[in-house]
């Protein structure tokens, strides 16, 4: 059955668990997530980026969600727009059956000027008003998160907002978070807490504190009814990097967010945990492995089935680690 983000995360907050939000672009990823959820009895958040919507097409995506809902009747599914950039993206997602949208007004927030903040508040509030009229939930974002934002306003030298702002300026300001939530009435809030998008988060093995736990704790203490969202939460497991590289890939050594750091975040109010890179890597490492191991193979299913199975195993692991398992 379809469920809104608000319904799902209210339950997660009541029972102290987190929910991974996996990105989907195609049938294989959809089935991988649902098989994992079914195996451990976990509720699901699937999210589609603007890129996913143009890749698969809105009608295909929306019928896929219909199909998955019918195939797995016992599993609650929240279908969410990831990083919506304006009202049109968010409202058209709802028209296509999404039960939740992210209005990411921080995409334009590189410089962190008062005008950028006012823009974020105004556009997010407009989306909240419209979405709540029709029973959909809204995630907003406050703060400078990472590569997506950098990409939006990146100068030629490749130094985005991260290069110009100090570490503290990159983190969400708790006072501003309180103001933002009151002004927008969002159901969930993505905060900048030290992560970034993509595979290349840390260039050394993270030792000690990765997440700005004091910021998470402070925002959670002051906004206990608002569900916190952690973007850029792939762990980029070493085993997947090794398999990728052993099969002809050339991925430079990198480190993601350790799962136990995410689990600490969940103890302090993080409820939605966005994961895309890990799923991509799990799948494409299998493509490489199959291609390298059997150079005559040309049946796409021989590539896609192991890829699907690898993504399923990864999703299942996260459902178990985040405490989502058993809550469908
Ligand atoms: O945060 C972005 C997600 O990883 C989606 O990426 O825009 O390439 O589909 P995408
Ligand atoms: P990763 O790149 O760490 O998987 O983050 C995905 C994300 O935040 C999607 O919104
Ligand atoms: Na999102
Ligand atoms: Zn994100």
Q: Is residue 236 part of a domain?
A: yes
Looking at residue 218, what is its pLDDT? 97
Residue 73 has pLDDT above 90, yes or no: yes
Has residue 134 got a pLDDT over 50? yes
- For residue 46, pLDDT over 80 is answered with yes
Q: State in Å: Cα 38 to ligand 2 middle.
A: 23
In a domain, 129, yes or no: yes
Q: Which of 10, 41, 66, 82 is catalytic?
A: 82
Q: Rounded mean pLDDT of 82-103?
A: 98
Mean of the per-residue pLDDT values for the chain?
92
pLDDT in tens, 229-241: 999 999 999 999 9
Domain of 162, in residue numbers: 5-321
pLDDT at 168 over 50: yes
- For the entire predicted model, the pTM comes to 0.94
The ipTM estimated for the assembled molecules is: 0.98
Residues with CB under 6 A from ligand 1: 23, 49, 51-52, 82-83, 148, 197, 276
pLDDT of residue 246: 98
Residues 189-217: tens digit of each pLDDT: 999 998 999 999 999 888 778 889 999 99
Q: Could you tell me if residue 328 is inside a domain?
A: no
Task: Report phi then psi at 229, rounded to 5.
Answer: -120, 135
| pLDDT for position 159 | 39
Q: How far is the CA of 102 from the centre of ligand 1 (A)?
A: 13
The answer to whether residue 327 is domain-embedded is no
Alpha-carbon span 103 to 73, nearest angstrom: 29
CA of 222 to the centre of ligand 1 (A): 30
Among 29, 143, 274, 280, the mutation site with the greatest number of ligand 2 atoms within 8 A of its Cβ is: 274
| Ligand 2 centroid, distance to 298 Cα (angstroms) | 31
Q: Is the pLDDT of residue 177 over 80?
A: yes
Ligand at shortest distance from the CA of 82: 3
Query: Which residue minimizes the CA distance to atom 5 of ligand 2?
Result: 232
In a domain, 308, yes or no: yes
Residue 157 has pLDDT above 60, yes or no: no
Whether the per-residue pLDDT at 150 is higher than 60: the answer is no
Atom of ligand 2 lying closest to residue 231 CA: 8
pLDDT at 110 (0 to 100) = 57
Ligand 2, residues 19, 104, 233: which to mutate, most atoms within 8 A of Cβ?
233
Q: By C-alpha distance, which of 274, 289, 249 is closest to 18?
A: 274
Whether pLDDT at 156 is above 50: no
Total domain count for the chain?
1
CATH code (residue 13):
3.20.20.70
Is 313 annotated as catalytic? no
């Amino acid at each position: 059955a379809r469920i809104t983000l608000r319904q799902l995360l209210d339950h997660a907050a009541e029972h102290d668990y987190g929910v991974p939000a996996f990105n989907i672009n195609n049938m294989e990823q959809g089935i991988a997530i649902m098989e994992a959820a079914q195996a451990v009895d976990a509720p699901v958040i699937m999210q589609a980026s603007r890129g996913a919507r143009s890749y698969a097409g809105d009608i295909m995506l929306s019928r896929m969600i219909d199909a998955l809902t019918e195939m797995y009747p016992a599993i609650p599914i929240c279908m969410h727009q990831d990083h919506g950039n304006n009202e049109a993206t968010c409202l058209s997602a709802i028209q296509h059956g999404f039960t939740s949208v992210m209005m990411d007004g921080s995409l334009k927030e590189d410089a962190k000027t008062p005008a950028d903040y006012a823009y974020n508040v105004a556009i997010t509030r407009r989306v909240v008003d419209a979405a709540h009229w029709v029973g959909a939930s809204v995630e907003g974002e406050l703060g400078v998160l990472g590569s997506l934002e950098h990409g939006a306003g990146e100068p030629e030298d490749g130094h985005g907002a991260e290069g110009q702002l100090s570490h503290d300026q990159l983190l969400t300001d708790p006072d501003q978070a309180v103001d933002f939530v009151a002004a927008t009435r969002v159901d969930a809030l993505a905060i900048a807490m030290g992560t970034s998008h993509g595979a290349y988060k840390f260039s050394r093995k993270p030792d000690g504190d990765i997440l700005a736990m004091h910021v998470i704790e402070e925002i959670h203490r002051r906004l206990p009814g608002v569900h916190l969202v952690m973007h850029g939460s792939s762990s980029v497991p070493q085993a997947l990097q090794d398999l990728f590289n052993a099969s002809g890939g050339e991925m430079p050594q990198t480190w993601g967010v350790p799962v136990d750091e995410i689990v600490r975040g969940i103890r302090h109010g993080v409820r939605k945990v966005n994961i895309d890179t890990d799923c991509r890597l799990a799948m494409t490492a299998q493509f490489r492995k199959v291609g390298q191991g059997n150079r005559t193979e040309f049946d796409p299913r021989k590539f896609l089935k192991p890829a699907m199975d690898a993504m399923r195993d990864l999703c299942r692991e996260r459902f178990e680690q985040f405490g989502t398992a058993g809550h469908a």
